[in-house]
Amino acid sequence: MSQGTKLTTVVHDTDIHGLSCGINAYYTLRRQGIAVSVFSHFSTNPQEPSTTPTGLAQYVESLGTTDLIILDIPIDIRNPKRYIDALVSHAQFKGRVLWLDHHGHSQWIDILNKQGVTAIVYGSSYDLALAVPRMYAIADSFVEKWALIGSVADFDTSIADKVSPELEEMVCDILDQAWKQRRDQLLSALGLTPRPELGNVGQFTVQIVEKGIEPEKVIEVARTLVSPLRLPQYNTIGDVVYTTELPAMGLAWKTAWKLCLVTGSKVAVVPTFNPRTQQYAVIIARYWRVDETISKVIESFIATKFAGRQIVGHVGARSIALMSQSEIQNVPMWARELAEELERTVYTPKTVHLVSDRYVASALERDFKMILQKLTEILETQKKMYEEYLELKRRQVQLLEQATERERTRYD
C-alpha cells in the first residue's frame, strides 16, 4: 500500500471480527507512517446490516484517489456485478485495491485478480485479522490479542486451543452484546471522543489505536453495561440441546452458542422470530469447539428434513424458515432425530460426556483457584506466625543465657 502523502483507506465490516481486522490494519499502517483513513458504516438503518455489498459499492464509487484495503466484506453472490465493477473501476483509475476476506466466493477471486484487484481469501478469521500486520512483519501482543478477540466472536475453530472458555464467554456474550446494543455508551465509557464523520464504528477503530486501548479494557468496560445472556428453559437429548421458548429478540444465534457452552452439547436447536421478515425460523447450530465433521451431519439432516425451505447462514449454523409459529412444537422431535443421526454418524465415547460440560468445569476451575489463593494466604500467615514464634524463642534463649551469665558472675 501507499507510503508518504498518498492516502490509504481501510474499509472493514462492523461486527467484532471486522472491527478487529480494521483495528489491526489501522494500527499497522500508522506504524509504517502511512496516511490512513477508516470507513465502516454504510447503512443508517439500525435494523439492517451496515456493511452490505451494495452500500460498499456506493461508497467505493464515491471515492477519489486513494489506495483501498477492504476487510471481511464478502461479495454478494446473488448480485455481485456492481460490487465487482466498483472495485475493478477503482483499481484501474483511482488507486490500488487490496480485497481480503475469508468467506470463500472463489468463483469471483480470479475475476478480481485478472482485472487489477489484489484479492486474497484466507482460511480462517484469525488469519484474516492478522493479514495486514503480517504483510508488514508486525507481530506484537496488541495485534495478536485483537485477532484472538475477533476470531472468538467469529467462532473460528482454528483458535479453539488458544482461548479459554472464560474468554470465549466474555467475548461472545458480554462484548458482543455491548457492541450491538450499547455501542454509543461503550464509546463514552471508554472515554472516546465523538467523531461523527467516522460513524460510531469508524471512530471506535481509530481511537482504540490512537489511545492504545487493549481488548481486556474494552471487555472490562462492557461488563458494566450489559448482563450475561439469559437462557430460556432447555432440554438435552444425546449431543443436542434445544429450547421451544423464543430467546431475546435478535439473540437467537448467541443463545444457541451459549446453550452448547453451558451444557457441553455439540449442537443446539433454537426457534426464533425475525422482525425484519416477520417470519419464524429454527436455528440449528454446531458448537464451534467441536469437530467440524458434525457440520456435514447437520447439512445432510437439513437437506433431508427441510427440502424446499428457505435456508440461510453458514455451514454448521443454519436458519431454516418455518411455515408458522405452530411449527415450533416440532423442535423436540427434530432435536431427537438429529441426536439419533449424530449418534449413528459421530462416535462419542461415554467418558467424553462426563467431562464435556465446559461451563461447569470452568466454574469449578475458578472456585479451585479462589480456594488455592485463600489457602496460600493462610499458609503465608502461618509461616509469618511460625517465624515470629521462632524469633520469640530465640529471644527467650538469649534472655535466659544472659540471666545465667549474671548469676555465674555474681557467685564468682
Answer whether residue 358 shows pLDDT above 70: no
Q: What is the pLDDT, as a whole number, of residue 47?
A: 41
Residue 410: pLDDT band by 50, 70, 90 thresholds? low
The per-residue pLDDT of the chain, averaged, comes to: 85
Average pLDDT of the segment spanning 48-55 = 56
What is the topology classification, in CATH, of domain 235-356?
Answer: Diaminopimelate Epimerase; Chain A, domain 1 (3.10.310)
Q: For CA atoms 223, 227, 229, 231, give the dihedral sign.
A: positive
Residue 267 has pLDDT above 90, yes or no: yes
> pLDDT-derived band of residue 181, with 50, 70 and 90 as boundaries?
confident
How far apart, in Å, are the Cα atoms of 212 and each of 128, 174, 183? 21, 21, 19
What element of type H or E holds 65?
none
pLDDT tens-digit map of 106-161 = 678 888 999 999 999 999 999 999 999 999 999 999 999 999 999 999 989 899 88
Q: Looking at the whole model, is its pTM more than 0.85?
A: no
Scanning the structure block, which residue is given the C-alpha cell 504483510?
A: 135
CA separation for the pair 68, 37 (Å, rounded): 10
Instruction: Read off the pLDDT of residues 360-394 as tens digits, 9 standing for 90 and up.
Output: 565 556 666 767 777 787 888 888 888 888 888 88
> Exposure pattern of 221-243 as b/e (b: 16+ CB <10 Å)?
bbeebbeebebeebeebbbbbbb
Give the residue-averaged pLDDT of 168-190: 92
The pLDDT score that the predictor gives to residue 355 is 43
pLDDT band, residue 24 (cuts 50/70/90): very high
CB 132 within 8 A of CB 28: yes
Instruction: Find all residues with CB under 8 Å of 329, minimum gap 6, and list them.
Output: 244
Can you state the angle between helices 293-305 and 331-345, rounded to 10 degrees?
130
Architecture of domain 4-222: 3-Layer(aba) Sandwich (3.40)
Among 61, 98, 101, 44, smallest CA distance to 77 is for 101
pLDDT score of 51 more than 60: no
* Ranges of each domain in the chain: 4-222, 235-356, 358-412
Ramachandran assignment for 215, one of left (phi > 0), alpha (psi -120 to 50 degrees), beta (any other)? alpha
